[in-house]
Structure 1
Amino acid sequence: MAKQQSKSKAPAPPTPYEMMGARIQKIINSPAAQKDRSVVISREQHESSQDWERFLDEVGENDNVALEHRADGSVLLSWTVPAED
């Protein structure tokens, strides 16, 4: 009897945008960033400027997040934690 081949596909590799998001998420989730509720982030050379701008636009849409663009191209990302009802 022949074995049936699995028709499930291997998961697609993450996109450059997803990899950038994962990198920044690790920075944001660090204990120091969580304590300060702020972090300075920068685009890395291998990351596209379009992905960087998309990320900043999407993050900036959140009510509890503030972005401060700095002269060196980095961004100070700060947030507040809303009070629970």
Structure 2
Amino acid sequence: MSDTHAATAASPGHYERMAVRVQKIINSQSAQKARAALIFRLADELEDDWKQLLEEIDENDNVTLAWRDDGGVQIFWTVPKED
């Protein structure tokens, strides 16, 4: 495998960078404490990627998405009690 191909395979794409950014917001201490996070699509992020990410987040049990007038998406979640 060439060095160029290896570097390309190792660098994250647009979707992956966006997903990591949103994951950091969701995993922040303040978001975890509130069980809520507010996210926005950045200008350089593709709308299709954004929609895909929101669909994947919404598929999770105990997660609610609320679209805001300012373009942001509020994510709320609950943590189920252990039996």
Which TM-score tier does this pair reach, normalised by the shorter chain? 0.7 to 0.9
Q: Normalised by the size of structure 1, how large is the TM-score?
A: 0.86
Query: How far apart are 1:57 and its partner, in Å?
Result: 0.7
Size of the alignment, in residue pairs?
80
Match of 1:65 in 2: 63
Match of 2:38 in 1: 40
User: CA separation in 1, counterparts of 2:46 and 2:39?
Assistant: 15
Q: Normalised by the size of structure 2, how large is the TM-score?
A: 0.88
Gaps (5+ residues) in structure 2? none
Match of 1:77 in 2: 75
SS of residue paired to 1:10: helix
SS of residue paired to 2:24: helix
1:10 maps onto 2:6 in alignment: yes
For the pair shown, the structure with the greater C-alpha radius of gyration is: 1
Runs of 4+ in 1 over 4 A off after TM superposition: none
Match of 2:17 in 1: 19
Query: How far apart are 1:64 and its partner, in Å?
Result: 1.0
Query: How far apart are 1:10 and its partner, in Å?
Result: 2.8
Match of 1:50 in 2: 48
RMSD: 1.8
Gaps (5+ residues) in structure 1? 1-5
Q: Which amino acid aligns with 1:48?
A: L
Identity of aligned residues (%): 51
Larger helix percent: 2
